[in-house]
Chain A
């Protein structure tokens, strides 16, 4: 192989490599019911320290991805708060993860809608990517072993919580 042909081959390989890198780095994350929930330590929103979904091992936890600019989140937040208060003593928690947002606006949102359940904060949309998220809000029910029991890519309301989430928690579905 001549030097010129070898250099051309190298150049073509470099271009293909760059294209492959670009495609792979934009690859979607796929999650599924029954698999371990994507998890990592995140800062507590508006507080000190860190937290993760693993903190709730042994309990059911409904993970809610939300942002303050998200309009459906405004209707959903009070419903989730009521659910959290009602089911707290039955081993069920709600955990908010604020994504694609800034903390000032997020905290103002929590004050405005009187949200009391625990909140973590993802810088940018890093957690959205981990959950393969396509928008906000999205909800993920995690069982006591840390596995996904329900994936709901959209807002929840009282009837959804009672008809879809509660039966799973109570072992009725």
Chain B
């Protein structure tokens, strides 16, 4: 019997809670305004305080209050202001290069660094070449005589 009462009370509370849950915004103004632009100001909406930005912010707040998700809010903004309103490039078409180019540049740089390090290590391990200090750079002729004289004078 008591179990039935608890169940009934729980269901009653849920019935009251569900409208409140449904009205809960699924995103927030802070979550949106750092990902969209004020297109006329040319800055992030988060940083803009112009009248145009205030209008756009009010629109975002209205959309959020009506229960729209972040993606839906962004779609609505694109429908009103065009694609320039999005702060992040799209993941398709030419805009995809904004993501691909840095990634490819990073990979190319890493490969170049790897080859460079390998070559440097090989050079360090290998026999001294004609350009190394222990090989062909020994002074010759007059220079060699002067070096020997200096070494003898300073007893090095």
Q: Which of B51, B56, B83, B84 contacts A102 (CB 8 A)?
A: B56
Flag whether A55 is at the interface (Cβ < 8 A): no
Residues of B that sit less than 8 Å from A by CB: 39-40, 51-52, 55-56, 59, 62, 79-85
Flag whether A41 is at the interface (Cβ < 8 A): no
Nearest CB in chain A to that of B51: its residue? A69
Flag whether A104 is at the interface (Cβ < 8 A): yes
Grouping DSSP codes into helix (H, G, I), strand (E, B) and loop, the A interface class, with mixed when no group exceeds half, is loop
Please count the residue pairs between chain A and chain B whose beta carbons lie under 8 angstroms apart in the complex.
Answer: 37
Set of chain A residues within 8 Å of B84, measured between Cβ atoms: 124-125
Q: A100-B39, A100-B40, A100-B52 in contact; A124/B82 too (CB < 8 A)?
A: yes
Q: List 6 A-B contacts (CB under 8 A).
A: A100-B39, A100-B40, A102-B56, A102-B81, A125-B40, A125-B84
Nearest CB in chain A to that of B76: its residue? A102
Q: How many residues of A contact B (CB 8 A)?
A: 13
B80-A123 in contact (CB<8A): yes
Please measure, in the bound complex, the distance between the C-alpha atom of A73 and the C-alpha atom of B80, giving whole angstroms: 20
Which 9 pairs, one residue from A and one from B, show the smallest C-beta to C-beta distance? A124-B82, A102-B80, A69-B51, A124-B81, A123-B82, A69-B52, A102-B59, A100-B40, A69-B55
Nearest CB in chain A to that of B54: its residue? A69
Taking the closest CB of chain A, its distance from the CB of B81, in whole angstroms, is: 5
Please measure, in the bound complex, the distance between the C-alpha atom of A67 and the C-alpha atom of B40, giving whole angstroms: 11
Flag whether A105 is at the interface (Cβ < 8 A): yes
Set of chain A residues within 8 Å of B55, measured between Cβ atoms: 68-69, 101-102, 105
Taking the closest CB of chain A, its distance from the CB of B39, in whole angstroms, is: 6
A103-B80 in contact (CB<8A): yes
Flag whether A126 is at the interface (Cβ < 8 A): yes
Please measure, in the bound complex, the distance between the C-alpha atom of A171 and the C-alpha atom of B109, giving whole angstroms: 68
Please measure, in the bound complex, the distance between the C-alpha atom of A101 and the C-alpha atom of B51, giving whole angstroms: 11
Nearest CB in chain A to that of B81: its residue? A124
B82-A125 in contact (CB<8A): yes
Taking the closest CB of chain A, its distance from the CB of B58, in whole angstroms, is: 8
Q: Which of B79, B81, B83 contacts A100 (CB 8 A)?
A: B81
Set of chain B residues within 8 Å of A104, measured between Cβ atoms: 59, 62
Please measure, in the bound complex, the distance between the C-alpha atom of A100 and the C-alpha atom of B50, giving whole angstroms: 13
Set of chain B residues within 8 Å of A68, measured between Cβ atoms: 55
